[in-house]
Amino acid sequence: MQSRLGTKYLAALSAPPLGALPAAVRVLLLLAALLFAAPPAGASPKSEQPIPAATLALMEARDTTPDAPILMRAFKKESEIEVWKRNRSGRYVFLKSFPICRWSGKLGPKVAQGDRQSPEGFYSVGPRQMNPNSAYYLSFDTGFPNAYDKAHGASGSALMVHGTCSSAGCYAMTDKGVAEIFALAREALRGGQNAFQFQAYPFKMTAQNLARYRADPNIGFWRQLKEGFDRFEATGEELGVGVVNGRYVFAPSSDPANEALALDRRTREQERIASYIGLGSAAVRTVYSDGGQNPYFTALLRKGADLGMVSRPETLAYAGIDEVLTPARGLCARKGGCPDMVLRGQAASKSADAQKPASPPPEARIVFSAGRVIAIRTTEPITLMPMLLSYKLSLPMPPQTIIAGAMPILPDAWF
């Protein structure tokens, strides 16, 4: 807006009616043009970068605008941040996702200062949390600790979404990645949004994942996050989040139709979780030496790309290893894992058992458990020994979030 105003004033100087004005008047007009074209006081030029044209085109296709409210969701295991925008109908719609170059710690909430944990939970980011002069290019403070964190005695501060590729409890996006994220948030806040919601999850909160992680020590906390995740997916509304007796609670939708959708989805997801467990889903725990990285950046590193400062790169070879706590059985022991279906009632379960094919000969799989290497017999697909960064292997592009009505976005070069 500021640059357009400046252009407008400069164009006015050359217009025929102004050509006859005294030189002093024209100088004053020129000074006014420069004033309007300058960035706000305290802002650096990097913080005023425009939203890319391709992203503006996506907004138009989603029936939204740059100044419409925004919402973000971070997923550790998938190493990505999603950006959502509220469209003209009042519903938040998926805009695009950004790969995370580095997050630290492991799956689970942040507990104490210095534990290197990137936060999980529901946070609010206002204008004062935006930092245009960050030492990590650009950043915003996630708002940790929130009311839930404080209720559980968690400590820590300055947990950011920022540039570069180095993390000690933050979500590092590279300079190019955070520049666009910052611009998207900036325009929404300038458009009148008081604060935007930042939802941080350990992984995509699908029924299948909740079944797989049912034996993880954090499962009670993650079930609370799952409730908020499902409510947002069903209604497309920003969550009304509270904390009661040390637990997350969510306000019902003001729209009865949306509230019915939220309750229906919760019931269906609970049934799906039970169905996956009944089908024989493995129970796993995913372990990390110190956080992870989106496969997009891992592939770039293997090709020798310069991502700048990368924190603890040696730990990335041991990131995201599934430790099998309960091996898969039944239908879920087949190649490809559990079928993506919802089985309802005893008759459906009997039907599934009747269709179960003979299991192929089991193969040995190697996993890490309690600091030692053990071999187990199972056909459940699991992550095997890690590939070192020095290996010259080509990886597929990172998986894209596919949501009904959404457009998958493949990132450009982010370094």
Angstrom distance (rounded) from CA 239 to CA 197: 8
The answer to whether residues 122 and 146 touch, using CB atoms and an 8 Å cutoff, is yes
What is residue 308's predicted lDDT score, i.e. its pLDDT?
A: 85
Active-site annotation holds for 338: no
Confidence of residue 26 (pLDDT cuts 50, 70, 90): low
- Which residues does residue 22 pair with via DSSP β-bridges, in sequence order? none
Angstrom distance (rounded) from CA 110 to CA 192: 31
Helix then strand count (H, E) for the chain reads 11, 16
- Residue in 162, 165, 332, 338 annotated catalytic: 162
Active-site annotation holds for 101: no
DSSP category for residue 256:
H
Confidence of residue 341 (pLDDT cuts 50, 70, 90): low
- Residue in 101, 170, 332, 338 annotated catalytic: 170
Angstrom distance (rounded) from CA 397 to CA 71: 25
What is residue 31's predicted lDDT score, i.e. its pLDDT?
A: 55
Nearest alpha-carbon partner for 279 in 237, 329, 232: 329
Question: For the segment 351-387, what is each residue's pLDDT rounded down to a tens digit?
Answer: 344 444 444 433 333 333 333 333 333 333 333 333 3
If one counts every other C-beta atom within 10 angstroms of the C-beta of residue 137, the result is 24
**Which one-letter amino acid corresponds to residue 50?**
P
Q: Which fold has domain 53-252?
A: L,D-transpeptidase catalytic domain-like (2.40.440)
Q: Where are the domains of the chain?
A: 2-38, 53-252
Instruction: Please enumerate in sequence order all residues whose Cβ is within 8 A of that of 40, keeping only pairs 6 or more positions apart, or say none.
Output: none
Looking at the whole model, is its pTM more than 0.85?
A: no
Q: How far is C-alpha 279 from the geometric centre of its chain's CA atoms?
A: 30
The answer to whether residues 72 and 82 touch, using CB atoms and an 8 Å cutoff, is yes
